Structure 1
Amino acid sequence: MSFSAYDLTSIRFAYSPLGEVSTGVHALRTPTGRVPHLPWFTQVRPNIVRKSDPTVTSRLMTPTLRTERLLLEPYVLEDEDDFVTLFRDGRVSRWMGNGPAPEAEYRALFGRIFTKVYAQDLFDVWAVRRNGRFAGHAEIKPAKVAEGHEIIYALTPDLWGSGLGRELAEAIVAHGFDTLGLGEVYATVAAPNSASLAVLDRIGFEHVRDMAEDDGSITRVLRRRAAGPTRQG
């Protein structure tokens, strides 16, 4: 899956266009007010309200999802270090762009989840937890590679090989079909990423086409239709 550290939708595993914005989380409290364009580090971050503030939880539109072993819920500020650690891990970023970006870029990216995605209810993005601990990242958002939505997910490497990738992907797909009413969902995966390709194949994704990236690598575009079967194994 592609990921670019510029923002949550140019992450090469397909985030939607974010960028520095003039709306801060202050807009969650005063939706009719105006908030100047302010850098995350010096202006926006100190003003973001805390998890316990009911004005945030009441406005967050991303629903909480549960699977047998995982909890998907909206991010809170306390997740920042875990988010940065996940995407700076070379084993994760290997499949999400050109390797780890500077830490400051990931921290700015995390801030835009609040100042852009949640503030404007753009799409659903979750922190993934297992047994109360941070376990990964997930989202479903309008796709750039096709007319539709695509799923995006990443688990911490210590959980790889446990079947949780399939469990997580199935939960996001089910949300797309059952809650969002989508007729199909997409995913993009780097061609050498055989593990992710196998997971998506098992849950009914089919190859649509290949895309050549600027660096010469190949990204596979996959699709699952709402009536698509889930393969066993």
Structure 2
Amino acid sequence: MPPTLHTARLLLDPYTPDDEEGFVALFQDVRVSPWMGDGPSSEADDRALFGRIFSKVYARDLFGVWAVRRDGRLIGHAEIKRTDEVDGHEIVYALSPAVWGSGLGTELAEALVAYGFGTLGLSEVHATVAAENEASLRLLGRVGFAHVRDIEEDDGGLTRVLTASRTPRSATSSPLRGRRS
């Protein structure tokens, strides 16, 4: 299980079975789903994905996957995992459109990067973002990611690969207020 993380306004903790409906609602939201994985999935596929978080990811301690909460309410999803596509660790995040524009995306991305540099000891953290997802590209630019290359997808779409490198400042400062298992 990943550790519980705290930021000024967010709690990142492991999912519980009671989170399934909120998880599925987030991944089925037509404003969120185009940017997740390979795009929109069926409800059955999203429920199966939720099940695999417990049966594979948590059971085998494969990588960090968190429910993102604010004031006790599930508002998002976060991951940091090793992927061959970037030959390193990639952050993945999604927030409910109800909280877009509030700075929580920046806070969440900073927490994932801090976890990667601090807890995991990484020298680089990556993100892959559809070229059309301008909001996410701007957010990642604000937290220190730089565009390093593009991947042309089978459907002709373009995915931007961005990288944040550890610096002396990021190695010592952290938006995380504390961690507990």
If the length of structure 1 is used for normalisation, what is the TM-score?
0.70
Residue in 2 aligned with 1:133?
Answer: 73
Distance 1:124 1:211, change over 3 A: same
Gaps (5+ residues) in structure 2?
A: 171-181
How far is the alpha carbon of 1:100 from its aligned partner? 2.7
| Aligned partners of 1:143 and 1:186 also within 8 Å | no
The one of 33, 42, 46 aligned to 1:106: 46
1:80-115 CA deviation, whole Å, 9 max, x = no partner? 000000001110012225643221111111000000
Q: Hey, which of these two has a bigger chunk of strand by percent? A: 2
**1:228/1:106 CA distance change after superposition, 3 Å:** farther
Name the structure 1 match of 2:176: none
Q: Aligned pair 1:122/2:56, yes or no?
A: no
Q: Which has the larger radius of gyration?
A: 1
Higher relative contact order at CA 8 Å, sep ≥6: structure 1 or structure 2? Answer: 2
Instruction: Return the alpha-carbon distance in structure 1 between the equivalents of residues 26 and 126 of structure 2.
Output: 23
CA distance in 1, matches of 2:148, 2:136: 16
In the TM superposition, 1:178-193 aligns within 5 A as: 178-193=118-133
Amino acid at match of 2:112: I
Supply the AA of the counterpart residue of 2:111.
A
3-state SS of paired residue (1:72): strand
RMSD of Structure 2 on Structure 1 (CA): 1.4
Cα distance in 2 for partners of 1:141, 1:159 equals: 24
Q: Does 1:161 align with 2:101?
A: yes
**What is the deviation of 1:144?**
2.3
Q: CA offsets per residue over residues 15-44 of structure 1, 9 Å max, x none?
A: xxxxxxxxxxxxxxxxxxxxxxxxxxxxxx
8 Å CA contact 1:191–1:218 kept in 2: the answer is yes
Residues of 2 paired with 1:142 and 1:119: CA distance? 17
1:202 aligns with 2:142: yes
TM-score for the superposition, normalised by structure 2: 0.90
Deviates more, 1:79-88 or 1:221-230: 221-230
Runs of 4 or more, structure 1, over 2 Å off, are 96-100
Does the 8 Å CA contact 1:204/1:229 hold for their aligned counterparts? no
Aligned in 2, Cα 1:196/1:70: closer, same or farther, shift over 3 Å?
same
CA distance in 1, matches of 2:92, 2:52: 17
Percent identity of equivalent pairs? 65
CA contact (8 A) 1:213 1:219 kept: yes
Question: Could you tell me how far apart the structure 1 residues matched to 2:87 and 2:116 are?
Answer: 14
Distance 1:119 1:164, change over 3 A: same
Which consecutive unaligned segments of at least 5 residues does structure 1 have?
1-59
- Could you tell me which of 34, 44, 47 is aligned with 1:94? 34
